[in-house]
Chain A
Amino acid sequence: MISVVRTILILAMIVPSISFSHDNQKHHEGKSKADDLNQCVEPTDVMRKKHFEFLYHQRDLTVIDGIRTKQHSLANCIDCHVSYDSNGIAIPINSEGQFCYTCHIETATKIDCFTCHATIPRYSKKSIYNKINKISMVSQIHSELNKDSHIKYHEQYIE
């Protein structure tokens, strides 16, 4: 009996820390485009709970049916959530202290997306980043990127 009570108590302590590991504070270092936005592609609480379902669904649609919509694509997640350092260079999103890493370490869920997928945005031309020195100017990076015709093709690719 005592052991049952003890188990329940321990669970009561652990479970909230699993399900509410997110607070509203920013967890990652550097500055990302997402920092300036109010909401992701779905309401925030939906994204927190279901982002994997979206990705999982999207991956089959993309690979098997050739559907390349932007909303739930992993590439799009990375474009927006990747942080840039003070030199404007993208920091891999799965590296320590970054968006994917921080939560997945905290909730102890292993992901293997990045054994295959790129960890920095699709148009990470270092030359472009190097033009911009301050991290406060992430939006500027994106506007800069859109001018490039090379990126036009890629943008069209995900539109």
Chain B
Amino acid sequence: MNSISNSRRQFLIKSISAAAVIYIIPALSNKTLAAKPPSQKVSNKTRWAMHIDAAKCADGCTACVDACNEENGLYGFNRPKTDPQWIRKIKIKDINTDKVTTLPMLCQHCENPPCCDVCPTGASFRRIDGIVMVNQHTCIGCRYCMMACPFKARSFVHENLTQQLTTAPRGKGCVESCNFCVGRLDSGKEMTACEEACIKEGHHAISFGDLAKPLSRVNTSLKQSPSIKLRADLKLNQRVTYTGF
């Protein structure tokens, strides 16, 4: 009897520790899951997300916007109404408390994106790892997605462009928006340009990462403070969440 229960106990201990080795330890570590090799498709095991702590966002700082412009080769023509903005700073005031907050506004990467629902050609699509982006090869420039977006996250390219970056192709007649620096992510760098800039400035207002990794920066940040989704009444279930206003 005793030996049986001993062996059962040993079996349980062994299998639990095996499970720990296989599942828990890699999940706890950020580095153990190697970056996806270039030949491999992205999968839904990765779930990119961003958390923005508006309380840490500094008034007057535009580091994230500048970094985005540089990363994606965005430039204007001194025509603010038609110039593209993938990320922008907004200052809001609470009607009831008069509390003023500044925060960066960008594509919210909805899990139920209205832009993708309305796109007639499917050019506006949600990549399986959660990035909502525009396939500019099939975008016909109807701008229905811009009509459908509740966050005004998208810009239309209103003129001929030159000097595009290899990593960020973009051109006249297509709609574009934040794509979580998809080229960076595919190369294994799990950090968007805006987050990098925000950290470099010392604000740490933007935290990006993979929701599937418990220790990713976005998960750490989400644990610290309860987050809200903008226009939660629309049930779009965005991957970009906010705190602190």
- A-binding segment of B33-41, B81-89, B113-121, B197-205: B33-41
Whether a CB of chain B sits under 8 angstroms from the CB of A158 is yes
Once A66-B129, A66-B186, A68-B38 are accepted as A-B contacts, the answer to whether A116 and B166 lie under 8 Å apart by CB is no
Whether a CB of chain B sits under 8 angstroms from the CB of A22 is no
Contact with B along A60-81 (1 / 0, CB 8 A): 1001111111100001001000
| Contact among B41, B129, B133 with A67 in the assembled complex (CB-CB below 8 Å) | B41
Please report A residues at the B interface, Cβ cutoff 8 Å: 59-60, 63-70, 75, 78, 115-118, 121-122, 153-154, 156-159
Please report B residues at the A interface, Cβ cutoff 8 Å: 36, 38-42, 125, 127, 129, 133, 135-137, 160-161, 163-167, 169-174, 182-189
Which residues from chain B contact A116 at a C-beta distance below 8 Å?
A: 136, 161, 164, 169-171, 174
A158 and chain B: residue at smallest CB distance: B38
A104 to B186, CA, bound (A): 32
Which residues from chain B contact A78 at a C-beta distance below 8 Å?
A: 166
B135 and chain A: residue at smallest CB distance: A63
Q: Are B41 and A122 in contact (CB under 8 A)?
A: no
Q: Number of contacts between A and B (CB, 8 Å)?
A: 70
Q: Are A66 and B39 in contact (CB under 8 A)?
A: no
Which residues from chain A contact B169 at a C-beta distance below 8 Å?
A: 116-118
Q: Are B39 and A157 in contact (CB under 8 A)?
A: no
A75 to B183, CA, bound (A): 13
Q: Are B186 and A68 in contact (CB under 8 A)?
A: yes
| Contact among A63, A66, A70, A118 with B164 in the assembled complex (CB-CB below 8 Å) | A118
Which residues from chain A contact B170 at a C-beta distance below 8 Å?
A: 116
Q: Are B187 and A153 in contact (CB under 8 A)?
A: yes
Give the residue among A65, A75, A121 with the most B Cβ atoms within 10 A: A65
A84 to B167, CA, bound (A): 21
Once A118-B164, A154-B167 are accepted as A-B contacts, the answer to whether A64 and B187 lie under 8 Å apart by CB is no
Q: Are A69 and B189 in contact (CB under 8 A)?
A: no
| Contact among B41, B171, B187, B189 with A65 in the assembled complex (CB-CB below 8 Å) | B41
Once A116-B136, A116-B174, A159-B38 are accepted as A-B contacts, the answer to whether A68 and B166 lie under 8 Å apart by CB is no
A63 to B170, CA, bound (A): 13
A45 to B235, CA, bound (A): 54
Q: Are B187 and A121 in contact (CB under 8 A)?
A: no
Q: Are B189 and A153 in contact (CB under 8 A)?
A: yes
A68 to B187, CA, bound (A): 8
A84 to B172, CA, bound (A): 27
A116 to B161, CA, bound (A): 7
Q: Are A115 and B172 in contact (CB under 8 A)?
A: yes
B188 and chain A: residue at smallest CB distance: A156
Q: Are A66 and B182 in contact (CB under 8 A)?
A: yes
A71 and chain B: residue at smallest CB distance: B39
B123 and chain A: residue at smallest CB distance: A63
List 3 A-B pairs, minimum CB-CB distance, nearest first. Answer: A116-B171, A122-B166, A157-B187
Give the residue among B125, B169, B173, B189 with the most A Cβ atoms within 10 A: B169
Minimum distance in angstroms from B119 CB to a CB of chain A: 14
A159 to B35, CA, bound (A): 12
Minimum distance in angstroms from A123 CB to a CB of chain B: 8
A97 to B133, CA, bound (A): 35
Which residues from chain B contact A122 at a C-beta distance below 8 Å?
A: 165-167
A62 and chain B: residue at smallest CB distance: B186
A115 and chain B: residue at smallest CB distance: B171
A121 to B165, CA, bound (A): 9
